[in-house]
Amino acid sequence: MSAVRKPLDDAAHAALDVEAVRRDFPILSRTVHGKPLVYLDSAATSQKPRAVIDAISRFYCEENANVHRGVHLLSLRATEAYEGAREKVRRFIGARDARECVFVRGTTEGINLVAQTWGRSRLRAGDEILITGLEHHSNIVPWQLLCEQTGARLVVVPIDDDGSVRLEAFEAALTPRTRLAAFAHLSNALGTILPVEEMTRAAKARGATVLIDGAQAVAHLPVDVQALGADFYAFSAHKLYGPTGIGVLWGRGELLAELPPWQGGGDMIKRVTFEKTTYADPPARFEAGTPDISGAVGLGAAVDYVDALGRDAIAAHEASLLDHAAAALARLPGLRAIGTAAARAGAISFVLEGIHPHDIGTILDREGIAVRTGHHCAQPVMDRFGVPATTRASFGLYNTHAEVDALVAGLGKVRELLG
């Protein structure tokens, strides 16, 4: 299981008032095709609370200016907001220092940053990169590109029939040539929670560097990067009730300090001459150009919102939703769940016998129900289970048992029309 931090305050012990939470999300009051919206696609992107929307609007209305280097009031305020968001992220993930938190466009860019800085400078022909069969394409393709560039080899740990990664299989795949182990904290396609602490410990014991893809995990599980023991942890704001286009790459401070720049441009330098450029210390070294300032402000507001609700309360509510969904879906004739690991969170994937997932998604949409259909940017997972695609219902802190029941009723209608 994931590392669990102690609750930040008494709010973590309180039960989640879901109806009050729902009122915080303006989009949840709309209708789709004349039906109340049932949004079950948070694994693709979460909806945004009014607190996040207002924080971004307020920034543009009252503080908009470029950050760093400016001496006028608006620039100073914008810089305070931008760097203040970095400090909020530091606390949220348990980092030692805010300078370990690099703002990037999202998990994908964070992983590519590691591949093209740490990877290109350190890997050689014959080295191995170890991943699992559960990975999102964003934690596969960057390493394939890196292997092409360096001559390293990609090694994949297989997944079991229940969609889990056995620790023994992971340990068996580690060799003296394993230089990097990169794996998801929580599977986007199946909802499987990986034993990331144990995997990290095993990889580090063999001398490997460890990167964890936390894109799905941060919205569902408490995360403490120091307790996890990894070297890098990447996540996206838009899965955490924040805006699109911004995320975080956390890296151990001493390791970030050793890495070359990711991109060149303004604000990532100490001094530039035509003969030589010296680079800024992290995180500025990896944040060339004007950053997504409003995005950082929105991410900070999202962190505040989630912390105020209490992450333990959120996790308990979502576990109840997942249990209710799994039990209800299991009663539907012809439904096969894809991924039934004991440790799961956030999502449930399934197929209906004789009905293509895209048809399921289309009919459910006419009922106002938004689910995701396809390969979920995890085609190797689909290949492993012998299906071209699945239907995935994914949950957020704003979903209700009644919405799960609406999904089940909608699937009953699918069976009536197409079964």
pLDDT per residue as tens digits for the range 299-324: 999 999 999 999 999 999 999 999 99
pLDDT for 387 beyond 70: yes
Q: Is 101 a catalytic residue?
A: no
Mean per-residue pLDDT, 233-245: 98
Residue holding tokens 């509510």?
A: 317
pLDDT for 119 beyond 50: yes
pLDDT band for position 7 (cuts 50, 70, 90): very low
pLDDT for 349 beyond 80: yes
Q: Within a 10 A sphere around the Cβ of 281, how many other Cβ atoms?
A: 12
From 61, 101, 147, 377, the catalytic residue: 377
pLDDT per residue as tens digits for the range 41-68: 999 999 999 999 999 999 999 999 999 9
Residue 5 is predicted with a pLDDT of: 33
Residue 14 is predicted with a pLDDT of: 67
Q: Within a 10 A sphere around the Cβ of 189, how many other Cβ atoms?
A: 30
Give this prediction's pTM: 0.95
pLDDT per residue as tens digits for the range 11-42: 444 689 999 999 999 999 999 999 999 999 99
pLDDT per residue as tens digits for the range 269-296: 999 999 999 999 999 999 999 999 999 9
Residue 4 is predicted with a pLDDT of: 33
Mean per-residue pLDDT, 126-132: 98
Kindly list the structural domains of the chain, giving each domain's residue range(s) and its CATH number in brackets, ordered by start. Answer: 10-49+310-418 (3.90.1150.10), 53-307 (3.40.640.10)
pLDDT band for position 8 (cuts 50, 70, 90): very low
Mean per-residue pLDDT, 365-390: 97
Mean per-residue pLDDT, 322-335: 96
